[in-house]
Amino acid sequence: MDKTLGVVTCASSLCHGSIAPWNGSLVSQNEYVVWSRLDKHARAYKLLLNEQSKRIAAKLGLAAPAHESKVCLDCHAHNPLQSKTEHHISDGVACEACHGGAERWIGTHTEAGNSHAKNLANGMYPSDQPLARAQLCLSCHFGDTEKYVTHRMMAAGHPRLSFELNTFTSLQPAHFKVDTDYVQRKGTVDGVKIWSVGQAVAVATQLSILMDPKRGRDGAFPELTLFDCHACHHPMADTRWTPRTTLGSNQGPGLVRLNDSSILMLYLILRQTEPASAENFKLAVSQLNQAIAGRGDMAASAATLKIQAQAAAQKLSQSGMTDAQLAGVALLLVDDGLNGSYSDYAGAEQATMALGSVVSLLNQQGKLKSAAEMNRGLASLRASLVNDEKFKPSEFQLRLRAIRPQLVSGITKQNAPKEQGRP
């Protein structure tokens, strides 16, 4: 494991701490300034000192305050096993949390004739590669078998986590610019690939945690955050159960549903990119749902689904989508919703972030009739997601229906995918 040197090592004004981007340089060199002023990762540690964190720590009965507790520091700071004295945990999620301990690459990464491949060989993390980036970000934004926001933490006041790799890469905000030299050094960047790999890795991660005997269970129950929050958290008078259309309704009413928002997305992606795998995937999801309902072996069906998700992540990270597949994905995102797939908040939320990523790529390719009109449509979808407890599936559907003609007229110009059954 390479040692972490600390953010001061990166922050000099001649290195990454320039106030304005440099013109003649390959990278902007103002990354530190962007990070420290605009990026929430820079204040992730400081959050642990606020009232909300104090309340969480007290309700959980932690032995130490939040900012001294490993369960919080593992995500809210860079908490490496080995570091130099210049590294301060109070810097939050700093450069080397994502780019890897700089012990071996710090000296060489600025030498003339150096290459990205050499940096990686010296221990720099491949954050440019979709698969590696998905694993990196999801380790904190979803959790893994080492660090996790448990249902107990959420009940003590920790916010629910929500994540989509491509959307969050631009929200961070990005401190890198995909220009000609970036593409020369690191290859092209495809937002829809980043989205789809992110979904596949999220499914595999969810299943790893479900299968982990320590992490996946809490006393008599499974870890509840793996399930759909709104399966439990709604008033009893509100008998809203309806059969799920896209991935089958085999579970029946009264059972806790898995949070299947990323599963829904991956199923949609597979239907466009690998129809044969999609059928296997659907079968495996159905078997897992049956097992959760007490009809089958949960460990075995989770393992099968996890292998499929990992294989999909590999494949999707190697090949991009054709124009026709992309157009198909865009339409399916809407049509699945019109067919009742996003009756849960978490599904509607993932579909909206996905549409954002897909629409932005279609727009870059000049395939939207009116980007402004499409953005208004997306804004109206986001508006119906502001409060998860007041989410109305029927209203979300109406808003989806309103953007469909826009999408269809945009993408049929160049490559009409098969019209999907429109309700």
Whichever of 47 and 338 has its CB closer to ligand HEC, that residue is: 47
| Residues 6+ positions from 251 with CB-CB distance below 8 Å | 244, 257, 289, 290, 292, 293
Residue at 1: amino acid letter:
M
8 Å CB contact between 353 and 202: no
Whichever of 171 and 383 has its CB closer to ligand HEC, that residue is: 171
Please name the residue that has the structure tokens 């908490």: 79
| Residues 6+ positions from 319 with CB-CB distance below 8 Å | none
Which residues contact ligand HEC (rule: CB under 6 A)? 7, 10, 16, 27, 31-32, 35, 40-41, 43-44, 47-48, 52-53, 56-57, 66, 69, 71-72, 74-76, 93-95, 97-99, 127-128, 133, 136-137, 139-141, 143, 147-149, 151, 153-155, 158-162, 168-169, 171-172, 175-176, 182, 186, 224-225, 227, 229, 231-233, 256
Residue at 3: amino acid letter:
K
Taking the complex as a whole, how short is the minimal distance between the CB of residue 99 and ligand HEC, in angstroms? 6
- DSSP letters, 108-138, are TTTSTT--HHHHHHTT---TTSHHHHHHHHH
Cis? peptide before 213, omega within 30° of 0: no
Whichever of 37 and 418 has its CB closer to ligand HEC, that residue is: 37
Whichever of 160 and 422 has its CB closer to ligand HEC, that residue is: 160
Whichever of 30 and 272 has its CB closer to ligand HEC, that residue is: 30
Taking the complex as a whole, how short is the minimal distance between the CB of residue 323 and ligand HEC, in angstroms? 25
Question: Coil, helix or strand for 218?
Answer: strand
- DSSP letters, 400-422, are HHHHHHHHHHHHHTT-PPPPP--
Identify the burial level of 210 via C-beta atoms within 10 angstroms of its C-beta, where 0-12 means exposed, 13-18 middle and 19 or more buried. buried
Taking the complex as a whole, how short is the minimal distance between the CB of residue 24 and ligand HEC, in angstroms? 14
Taking the complex as a whole, how short is the minimal distance between the CB of residue 398 and ligand HEC, in angstroms? 26
Taking the complex as a whole, how short is the minimal distance between the CB of residue 246 and ligand HEC, in angstroms? 20
Cα–Cα separations (whole angstroms), residue 159 to 51, 139, 225, 322: 14, 16, 12, 37
Taking the complex as a whole, how short is the minimal distance between the CB of residue 273 and ligand HEC, in angstroms? 23
Taking the complex as a whole, how short is the minimal distance between the CB of residue 67 and ligand HEC, in angstroms? 8
Identify the burial level of 147 via C-beta atoms within 10 angstroms of its C-beta, where 0-12 means exposed, 13-18 middle and 19 or more buried. middle
Whichever of 135 and 397 has its CB closer to ligand HEC, that residue is: 135
Tokens of 338: 């019109």
Taking the complex as a whole, how short is the minimal distance between the CB of residue 293 and ligand HEC, in angstroms? 13
As a three-state string, the secondary structure of 15-62 is CCCCCCCCCCCCCCCCHHHHHHHHCHHHHCCHHHHCHHHHHHHHHHCC
Whichever of 154 and 283 has its CB closer to ligand HEC, that residue is: 154
Tokens of 66: 């939040």
Taking the complex as a whole, how short is the minimal distance between the CB of residue 89 and ligand HEC, in angstroms? 11
Question: Coil, helix or strand for 273?
Answer: helix
Whichever of 154 and 211 has its CB closer to ligand HEC, that residue is: 154
Tokens of 309: 């998700």
Whichever of 50 and 319 has its CB closer to ligand HEC, that residue is: 50
